[in-house]
């Protein structure tokens, strides 16, 4: 790449390693960028909707991942192109903010850029296009607010929440079992939600799984599932009305942190040392016993001597429990984490109605289920699945559904899915475009066209004739003024999404539009790409 030449036609060296850099600029740069973005969007297009297909991705070290989640697909694809990376980040930020609609946002951005390309060919300034898109986006958002419904829910009436979660899950692998899954998710979110502050900390919901069993075996545990078993095989497998002591100190003589050395020079001293050590174990077990604990959860391990003593004293124990689980356990059971044996007392113990060991099929794996906690602010969803890939995908799907439920707790407005909201927005933007003088009118119309790509893709993925289905629904929406009409992907016989109970969150839909418009503007605004050619 050369910027300038001197009078003899030889290039100036102005930039460092100039000859190694490549540069494209002007309309060419925009075209190349749009092309890259479209390529990424096209990959995701077939994953959209309830009849969307999954992608199988193999990582460099041979792990296989099968997923339908847009953010995961893009992340695992390891896109190299910089513009492609922008779309990956786009889907990631939708994932972080909303958790759902990660495919839709990329497809929408791709469609917007495709439309923009046509406008650029007509010689419209890229920024005028971007500005038109922004205006159109505002019109679309206003329309979303207009057609949005808010519904009331309470702890007793969770039906609307479940319906919305079902819409999210319907496109996933758990689709056949979505009703129960959705209910589980909603119950889990409501269990940890702070309804007054409208705050949900998803970290309090643990999604855990074990290979084997069926999807239907999944269950919601008001409490915790630990991937651990009792420290001694002869300890009781089930404890009713357990009093739990949570310890972050090991079952062994305490060690000073300062470097230390015990000088043993006589046999007596050695005897004394051994005796002291033994006394420590006895003391520790006694303290636990005295506090009234019937189960000891320990962050660290303990050796066989302690294990034996615990068994002898009929005190079941679990060792090597991780910090995060310890914390959740403490919250669930109302226990205080005890850092020293001397601080152990009855009021620091937690309670749980039952603690039992669960075994699976013929495997030796055991898990510990702690249920019936007084303060069920920490819950676990425990899923089963045929193999690891399915299990991972189920976990991802549940994450999406949990996010949706959380968003509804925050803001209980919904719009109708199945492309109904997009079609309605498309109509609204078109109407707004007519009123707009100037080049922006073209851009706004292009935006309206781009919005239709979502219902189009939905119809296509469901095996319906895309254009016929779309035009039919669109004309009906216009005629009947009913913004609930969408693509009948499930072949339920009606286009009314209200009857089909296909909901999406308003915040998620808005976010999709905002983010897609934003990224479009960013890509359109670039007219110069300078990169080291070796970088590929």
Binding to other proteins, residues 1-60 (CB under 8 A): 3-4, 6-8, 10-19, 29
Q: Which of 55, 187, 319, 510 contacts other proteins by CB under 8 A?
A: 510
Q: What residues numbered 76-95 form the site for other proteins, per CB under 8 A? A: 82, 85-86, 89-90, 92-95
Q: Is 529 near other proteins (CB under 8 A)? A: yes
- What are φ and ψ of residue 64, in 5° steps? -105, 140
Q: Is 328 near other proteins (CB under 8 A)? A: yes
- Comparing CA positions, the residue from 100, 110, 107 lying closest to residue 72 is 100
Q: What residues numbered 387-426 form the site for other proteins, per CB under 8 A? A: none
Q: Are 29 and 529 in contact (CB under 8 A)?
A: yes
Q: What residues numbered 296-325 form the site for other proteins, per CB under 8 A? A: 299, 323-324
Q: Per CB under 8 A, which region of 381-389, 455-463, 496-504, 518-526 contacts other proteins?
A: 518-526
Q: Are 227 and 208 in contact (CB under 8 A)?
A: yes
By C-beta, is 304 or 528 nearer to other proteins?
A: 528
Cα separation, 120 vs 31, whole angstroms: 9
Name the minimum Å distance from CB 325 to other proteins: 9
Q: Is 488 near other proteins (CB under 8 A)? A: no
Cα separation, 186 vs 160, whole angstroms: 10
Cα separation, 322 vs 334, whole angstroms: 18
Name the minimum Å distance from CB 275 to other proteins: 8
Q: Is 327 near other proteins (CB under 8 A)? A: yes
Name the minimum Å distance from CB 473 to other proteins: 28
Q: Which of 122, 260, 364, 479 contacts other proteins by CB under 8 A?
A: 260
Q: Which of 413, 431, 464, 522 contacts other proteins by CB under 8 A?
A: 522
Catalytic residue set: 69, 102-103, 400
By C-beta, is 58 or 276 nearer to other proteins?
A: 276
Q: Per CB under 8 A, which region of 55-63, 126-134, 227-235, 453-461 contacts other proteins?
A: 126-134
Q: Which of 42, 125, 286, 388 contacts other proteins by CB under 8 A?
A: 125
DSSP letter for 59, please: -
Cα 450 off chain centre by: 27
Return the H-helix or E-strand segment holding 382.
strand 379-385
Q: Which of 257, 361, 364, 479 contacts other proteins by CB under 8 A?
A: 257
Q: Are 501 and 164 in contact (CB under 8 A)?
A: no
Cα separation, 451 vs 429, whole angstroms: 9
Cα separation, 72 vs 66, whole angstroms: 10
Q: Are 332 and 377 in contact (CB under 8 A)?
A: yes
Q: What residues numbered 130-149 form the site for other proteins, per CB under 8 A? A: 131, 134
By C-beta, is 339 or 463 nearer to other proteins?
A: 339
Name the minimum Å distance from CB 404 to other proteins: 15
Q: Is 255 near other proteins (CB under 8 A)? A: yes
Q: Is 514 near other proteins (CB under 8 A)? A: yes
Q: Which of 186, 330, 450, 457 contacts other proteins by CB under 8 A?
A: 330
Tokens representing residue 151 in the block: 């519904």
Name the minimum Å distance from CB 375 to other proteins: 11
Q: What residues numbered 197-226 form the site for other proteins, per CB under 8 A? A: 197, 199-201, 203-204
Q: Per CB under 8 A, which region of 49-57, 290-298, 476-484, 513-521 contacts other proteins?
A: 513-521
Q: What residues numbered 221-250 form the site for other proteins, per CB under 8 A? A: 248
- What are φ and ψ of residue 302, in 5° steps? -145, 155
Q: Is 176 near other proteins (CB under 8 A)? A: no
Rg, C-alpha atoms of the chain: 30
Q: Are 424 and 147 in contact (CB under 8 A)?
A: yes
Classify residue 113 as left (phi > 0), alpha (psi -120 to 50) or beta: alpha
Q: Are 297 and 244 in contact (CB under 8 A)?
A: yes
Cα separation, 217 vs 436, whole angstroms: 57
Q: Are 69 and 102 in contact (CB under 8 A)?
A: yes
Tokens representing residue 173 in the block: 């692998």
């Amino acid at each position: 790449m050369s910027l300038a030449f001197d009078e003899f036609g030889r290039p100036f060296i102005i930039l460092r390693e100039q000859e190694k850099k490549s540069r494209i600029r002007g309309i060419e740069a925009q075209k190349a960028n749009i092309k890259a973005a479209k390529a990424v969007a096209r990959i995701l297009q077939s994953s959209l909707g309830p009849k969307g297909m999954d992608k199988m991705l193999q990582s460099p070290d041979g792990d296989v991942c099968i997923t339908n989640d847009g953010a995961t697909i893009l992340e695992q694809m390891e896109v190299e192109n910089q513009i492609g990376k922008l779309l990956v980040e786009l889907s990631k930020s939708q994932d972080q903010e909303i958790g759902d609609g990660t495919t839709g946002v990329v497809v929408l951005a791709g469609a917007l850029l495709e439309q923009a390309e046509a406008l650029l060919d007509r010689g419209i300034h890229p920024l005028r296009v971007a500005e038109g898109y922004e205006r159109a986006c505002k019109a679309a958002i206003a329309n979303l607010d207009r057609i949005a419904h808010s519904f009331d829910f309470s702890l007793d009436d969770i039906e609307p929440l479940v319906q919305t979660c079902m819409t999210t899950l319907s496109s996933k692998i758990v689709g056949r079992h979505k009703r129960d899954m959705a209910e589980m998710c909603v119950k889990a979110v409501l269990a940890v939600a702070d309804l007054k502050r409208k705050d949900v900390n998803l970290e309090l919901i643990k999604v855990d799984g074990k290979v084997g069993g069926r999807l239907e075996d999944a269950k919601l545990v008001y409490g915790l599932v630990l991937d651990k078993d009792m420290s001694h095989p002869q300890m009781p497998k089930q404890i009713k009305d357990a009093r739990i002591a949570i310890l972050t100190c090991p079952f062994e003589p305490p060690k000073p942190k300062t470097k230390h050395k015990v000088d043993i020079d006589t046999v007596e001293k050695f005897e004394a040392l051994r005796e002291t050590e033994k006394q420590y174990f006895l003391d520790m077990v006694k303290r636990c016993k005295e506090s009234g604990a019937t189960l000891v959860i320990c962050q660290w391990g303990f050796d066989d001597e302690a294990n034996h003593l615990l068994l002898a004293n009929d005190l079941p124990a679990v060792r090597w429990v991780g910090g995060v689980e310890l914390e959740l356990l403490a919250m669930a059971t109302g226990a205080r984490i005890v850092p020293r044996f001397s601080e152990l007392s009855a009021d620091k113990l937690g309670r749980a109605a039952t603690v039992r060991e669960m075994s699976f099929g013929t495997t030796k794996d055991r898990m510990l289920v702690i249920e019936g906690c007084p303060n069920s602010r920490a819950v676990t969803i425990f899923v089963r699945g045929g193999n690891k890939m399915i299990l991972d995908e189920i976990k991802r799907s549940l994450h999406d559904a949990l996010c949706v439920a959380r968003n509804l707790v925050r803001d209980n407005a919904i719009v109708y899915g199945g492309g109904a909201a997009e079609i309605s927005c498309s109509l609204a933007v078109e109407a707004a475009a007519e009123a707009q003088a100037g080049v922006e009118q073209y851009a706004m119309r292009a935006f309206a066209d781009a919005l239709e790509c979502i219902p189009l893709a939905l119809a296509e993925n469901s095996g319906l004739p895309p254009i016929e289905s779309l035009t039919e629904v669109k004309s009906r929406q216009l005629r009947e003024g009913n913004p609930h009409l969408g693509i009948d992907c499930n072949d339920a016989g009606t286009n009314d999404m209200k009857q089909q109970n296909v909901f999406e969150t308003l915040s998620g839909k808005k976010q999709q539009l905002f983010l897609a418009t934003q990224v479009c503007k960013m890509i359109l605004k670039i007219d110069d790409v300078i990169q080291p050619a070796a970088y590929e």
